[in-house]
Structure 1
Amino acid sequence: MLKKASLLVAATFIAPHAWSTTWTTNIDSATYKSAGTITFNDMGYTGPTAVGANAFQVGSGFDPSRVGQVQTVVTKDPDWLTSDAPKTVIGDLTGTPTYSNGNMDGQVNFYNWAYTTVGGSTFRDMKIDKAGNYFVDKNNMAFQLYTKYEYRDATGVNPDATRNTNINFQPYATSDARGWCGSVLTSDPAALERMAGQVTFDFAFDVYFESGIPGDPGNYSSTQLVPDFAMRSYGEYVVDVTYPNSATSQHFTGQAVENNTNPITGQLDEAWKNQVSFLGAGVVPKMVWVSADSFEADGSQKWVERCNSTTGECAWAWDVTMVAEGTPDAKIHYNVFAGYAFMMRADGTRTLTYVNPEGWSDYAVPGVPEPETYAMMLVGLALIAGTMRKRS
């Protein structure tokens, strides 16, 4: 399987969130067709046992016998509250019209096009063990179909517009997700405290050309496979990749809003409790190795129907498994859109569906004492100190 190598390059500044570390993924033309870099700044956030953005497990990994929490996250339509820099977007395939200074909240960048996240994508039964390891079954991750671009001018000059895109996308997970969650570091998983996390999984998206029929995804074109895709609910991405044939720059940025945080002030806010954003970025590689059982006996792709528990909608997806090069009987899949960079953004609502009554964290932090209790503690310490001085 294609692996993305990340290199620690800096840990250089304090503001706004303690010491921050920037991680760089080099995009080489031999693997991706395009060339450049994708950088991720963790904004000073680290996970349980101080694991960083380059790690997707704590200790020996997820332990199903030690589940401490279970949660579900469902995406929302954009609210257009984002600190992301505006992006000028061009119409997909045609290059026209041009949408200047587009608000990027809830948007997906793909090449120099954009697509709007539709509420209802569901990440269900996200298990978190007491060490902070995530596990999400691939069948519990359901993405909505991308069929339009909602334009909002960040400068307020141009009127709103809705574009039915020429290309439609149906994303889906092709492997289970693993990662870590910082909720185990709080005093309570339902507390109004800073918490974030990240997961990685193999990812695919089917490409359709618009048919003009309402409710129809369009005419199937191809499937793009992206191994080791990462989604994070913290930090900031910068994609700076050039597509060689046209020397076209693919440059976009995105910053997640952590759980419980007001997107305008950047502060914890009761009104934004359990509201979270997440994002991920990458480049479609030239080719990926897949298992032999990803195909039917006649050589055609093996398809499976997968459903969204929130919307009740179902869609067919390639039942594919990405594998490492050299796997017996593996076959090469070539991506039609190799070299195209992308950034996925979404806002969502987190719901805790289970907290283990016998303990949910190996690191549970006691709650901060109330001011009155804290004052009494200080008085008590002073009395003890005074008594000790008299005895001495």
Structure 2
Amino acid sequence: MLVPTHSPTPDEVAADPVGIDHMLSADERAVRDRVRAFVDTELRPNIAEWYENAHLPRELLPAFGELGVLGMMLSGNGLPGRSAVEYGLAAAELEAGDSGLRTVVSVQGSLAMTAIHSFGSEEQKAQYLPGMAAGRVVGCFGLTEPNAGSDPGSMTTFARRDGDDWVLSGAKRWIGLASIADIAIIWAQTDDGIRGFIVPTNAPGFTATPITAKLSMRASIQCDIELDEVRLPADAMLPEARGLRGPFTCLNSARYGIVWGAMGAARDALETARRYALERVAFERPIAAAQLTQAKLADMTLDVATGSLLALQLGRLKDQGLLLPHQISIGKLNNVRTAIRVAQSARTILGGNGITAEYSPMRHVQNLESVRTYEGTDEVHALVIGAALTGMPAFR
């Protein structure tokens, strides 16, 4: 039986309070540490400015490609082919930097690339996926509409046949990366049900307009898309995507990443508050010595530890091909709720300084309100879980 050789320091306890490191392989830790180092050197020094100025540097996409996090779980065609747990660890590190920056990776990889990888022709995969994995080709994913969010089956964007071509008309909203994307995966109604299309963003009739009046996700891009008689050749359709199974497959991949990412944001908020409490002196001692502060830190640590264990369990299931949709909903609903609670509590430890851009918790709170909404609201995930428990869907 192994016996601990020393009592851990406070920093060591804070870094891994329940010993998750021992549950990871050397390869998994290496992926995590590589992404963490990238976040520390390339993202943290700049994120407050990017957030304040609502700026996403386009050059981050090739940098993410070089890091190997675009389409990270996908294989073939020069793709990274990493495990679900490795991707989850990377997502947590990226969101510890900023939710919006993790969202960039998710839109490119879990949504746009997964659509092509899962439902595209071999020609489409060969044409687009290598460039997308490298960040040279940027994709977006057009499902949500102004009046069709949680109910994508009610979308009104329509693709009609005109000879051998398809002609798309309609509108999409809250589409990440659309204004800098080279291609858009657009889901549309047809006479044969919902189908997916690869749409070059320079096609006549395609317009992407950034949504600028945002109080959240300011270091990423979300857009309105207008499709005005956009003409496409027949081979623009994703041949294997029929009905909502296509977009839902991609959404579940993105939701899985959120389970991990939210815990990255929560962990960063907690550590920011802990370090501040150790340095901030009030009533002649660090506020970390106060009982109420320690109670807050303890509660936040419990939340981050249990949420991280849940993420790891779901990752192991996914790597075994056993992860079920209701389990993804459990992870997304629990961990985003938890992360918001942790970041809010962390902000209170920072006092008035906590509302400044110098510290991350309030930025995480604001971002996580968006994470809470996209890829399925709390209500949607509660109903997914409820349907799994009762066998009676309650969406209508």
TM interval, short-chain normalised:
under 0.3
TM-score under structure 2 normalisation?
Answer: 0.22
TM-score under structure 1 normalisation?
Answer: 0.22
Point out which structure has higher relative CO (alpha carbons under 8 A, 6+ apart): 1
Q: Which has the higher helix share?
A: 2
Q: Which has the higher strand share?
A: 1
